[in-house]
A and B are shown apart, each in its own frame.
Chain A
Amino acid sequence: MKVATYEGFVEGGKVKLTDDVHLPEKAKVYVVVPEVETKAVPFLGSPRLKHPEQAKDFAKKIVEE
């Protein structure tokens, strides 16, 4: 398997390559992340607001469609 390495960066949760790199659409890529610790996403069921008084921020306007 031929392998080419390009440098990119993560922005808004998406990997972006530098402007001078053009890969064919649907090209399969592998991502190697140097010196970054990734955390597994824990399952957070039934989340509570730590500050219950903030619940008022989430009042909804309800419209029938």
Chain B
Amino acid sequence: MPAYDGGQFNPPAPVATVSLRDSASGKTVTDVPMLIDSGADVTLLPRTRVDELAISTDQNHTYELMAFDGTTSVAKATELDLIFQRRVFRGRFLISNQAVGFLGRDVINHLALTLDGPALSWEENKPVQK
């Protein structure tokens, strides 16, 4: 069971590591930290890690985001593979300037995750094989 991250977050928070892959070239970056954030409508990837793939962003289309306090910002998007829990999530992702990304509901709604706060760990619930 992956442990919560108490180094970058106080109180500790559930952070997963994912891989990002350029589906055209196969180039992959690993160990990308992502906060498991059920409050995030969509997933945001750390720009510095996306830049390592040297893939293009959609220059013609931006998305407006709204924070909890109502402030807005604009994010660009790119198309790639996000690999998490042995699954490939292929599609459009937003890019953030923060060092840690956010796994939003466009990804986590496809998984059954348990956040065990007292144990400061999280895990995916696997379906029981019959």
Binding site for B on A (CB under 8 A): 12-13, 41-52, 54-55, 57-65
Main secondary structure of the interface of A (DSSP, over half): loop
What bracket does the count of chain B residues touching chain A fall in?
35 or more
**B30 contacts chain A at the CB level, 8 A cutoff:** no
Instruction: Give chain B interface residues in 49-98, CB to chain A under 8 Å.
Output: 51, 63-68, 71-73, 77, 83, 86-94, 96-98
A sample of 20 inter-chain contacts (CB < 8 A) reads A41-B97, A44-B73, A45-B35, A45-B37, A46-B39, A46-B68, A48-B65, A48-B66, A50-B63, A50-B72, A52-B41, A55-B42, A57-B63, A58-B94, A58-B106, A59-B91, A61-B89, A62-B87, A65-B87, A65-B88
